Amino acid sequence: MKMIRHTLVVIALVMVAAACSSASEGVEVSDPWGRPSPSSASNAAFYMQLEGSDTDDRLVSAESPACQVVELHETQMSDGVMSMQFLPEGIPVPAGETVSLEPGGLHVMCLGVTEALVEGESATVQLQFEESGLVTVDAEIRQS
Amino acid sequence: MTKWLIIVGGSVLAALLVGLAGWFVVVPRLQPQVFNAQVMQGVDAPDIELQGSNGQPVSLADFEDQVVVVYFGYTFCPDVCPITLSKLARARAMLGDDADDVQVVMVTVDPERDTPEVLREYAARFDPTFLGLTGDPADIDRIATIYGVYYQTVDTESKAGYLVDHTSTVMVIDRSGELKLLVSFDATDDEIAEDLSYLVS
């Protein structure tokens, strides 16, 4: 009986551990970067890869001490005409999928650069996800 | 009889020589230069007279005998415009000394926000020789229309206030003032450099 109880406790602990580890595995952000930009009323963009976890998630907003306002945007090209869409609903990151934020597509838009983005340095960007919570990354400042 | 042979033989030889010479002179010229970009034929580039980010009035005529690369964009644009301008800067850098014969100008499609000062700082981010052009909205409208460039101010919920949809194509004017190439947004640094180097050489 004691043996069974011990086994149950062990099983319970393993399950708790498993639950904890899966909960902490949120969206993984890799290769965050942006182009150099002086500090002025100018705008900039940050790019990165968002690797989905095992649950559907969504990048809902972002902030950065280097920008007055940060928004999520998407560039669309149609017949050679470029248009930029503001994404008030954010960027969905489906489970198990990788979403690329890259030049000419989805991007984190930095409106009003307040701290110069200097090549070779980095800028802090805080990403707010629906499920994964707040993820802070350092975007490398480079040309491409 | 011998005389005839000399005349006929001589004529044939002469004809052959002329033909051969012609083949060497004309054929290389007839061979089409394969540009990476879309080639326009025989279109004189309409003049552009606007206010330059250098504080001076700028006209296309100022760049006589240079290759002029014209891009319509705006400084508020954080994605496509920097991509294009940094590609042009890298392509120009690849030309070495010939780069002096290439002038890149960006005509703003957002004259309300893009003053010469704003444009100067923006253009210099990519290449100190790049010129931004701005002016009266009606003049910009007219120039964009004759260059076949579409742009449209779009209101948005974004804090940006408004954004401008615009044609992303880059236009290249050759040394003789002809609108020669239309470079699409997808062109690579290498492709642009190759086309420019042919036009400056």
What pLDDT sits at residue B182? Answer: 95
Of the candidate ranges A124-133, B13-22, B191-200, the one whose mean pLDDT is the lowest: B13-22
* A33 found inside a domain: yes
Rounded to the nearest integer, the mean pLDDT of chain B is 89
Pairwise pLDDT comparison (B159 vs B5), residue with the higher score: B159
What pLDDT sits at residue B160? Answer: 86
Pairwise pLDDT comparison (B144 vs B3), residue with the higher score: B144
pLDDT above 70 (res B26): no
* Domain interval for residue A77: 27-141
Beta-carbon count within 10 A of B189 CB:
17
What pLDDT sits at residue A15? Answer: 54
User: DSSP letter at B40?
Assistant: P
Pairwise pLDDT comparison (B6 vs A41), residue with the higher score: B6
* A18 found inside a domain: no
What pLDDT sits at residue B41? Answer: 85
Average pLDDT over residues B104-124: 95
* A41 found inside a domain: yes
User: Is B82 within 8 Å of A35 when comparing Cβ atoms?
Assistant: yes
pLDDT above 90 (res A21): no
Average pLDDT over residues B3-25: 66
Of B76, B150, B157, nearest to A43 by CB-CB distance is B76
What pLDDT sits at residue A22? Answer: 46
- What is the spatial distance between Cα A22 and Cα B140, in angstroms, rounded to a whole number? 56
* A1 found inside a domain: no
What pLDDT sits at residue A1? Answer: 57
What pLDDT sits at residue B69? Answer: 98
Pairing, β A133-141 against β A28-34: parallel
User: Is A35 within 8 Å of B86 when comparing Cβ atoms?
Assistant: yes
Beta-carbon count within 10 A of B35 CB:
17
CATH number at residue A102: 2.60.40.1890
Q: How confident is the model at residue A20 (pLDDT cuts 50, 70, 90)?
A: very low
What pLDDT sits at residue A4? Answer: 63
CA distance B108 to chain A (A): 14
pLDDT above 50 (res B62): yes
What pLDDT sits at residue A37? Answer: 86
- What is the spatial distance between Cα A93 and Cα B30, in angstroms, rounded to a whole number? 54
Taking a contact as any Cβ pair under 8 Å apart, which residues of chain B between 45 and 64 contact chain A? Answer: none
Q: Which of B33, B40, B35, B34 is nearest to B180 (CA)?
A: B40
Average pLDDT over residues A107-111: 95
- What is the spatial distance between Cα B183 and Cα B69, in angstroms, rounded to a whole number? 10
Of A37, A86, A104, nearest to B80 by CB-CB distance is A104
pLDDT above 60 (res A120): yes
Give yes or no for a contact between B171 and B84, defined as CB atoms under 8 angstroms apart: no
- What is the spatial distance between Cα B188 and Cα B96, in angstroms, rounded to a whole number? 18
CA distance B158 to chain A (A): 6
What pLDDT sits at residue A14? Answer: 53
Chain A positions contacting chain B at CB under 8 Å are 35-38, 40-45, 69, 71, 73, 75, 77, 80-86, 88, 103-104, 107, 109-111, 143-144
Task: List the beta strands (DSSP E) in B29-66.
Answer: 38-39, 49-52, 57-59
| Residue B53, token pair as written in the block | 């980010």
Which residues of A fall within a CB distance of 8 Å from B75? 42-43
Query: Listing from the earlier edge strand, what are the strands of the sheet with B67-73?
Result: B38-39, B179-183, B170-173, B67-73, B102-108, B131-134, B49-52, B57-59
ipTM confidence score: 0.70
* Number of structural domains chain A divides into: 1
User: Is B167 within 8 Å of A69 when comparing Cβ atoms?
Assistant: no
Q: How confident is the model at residue A39 (pLDDT cuts 50, 70, 90)?
A: confident
* A127 found inside a domain: yes
Q: How confident is the model at residue B77 (pLDDT cuts 50, 70, 90)?
A: confident
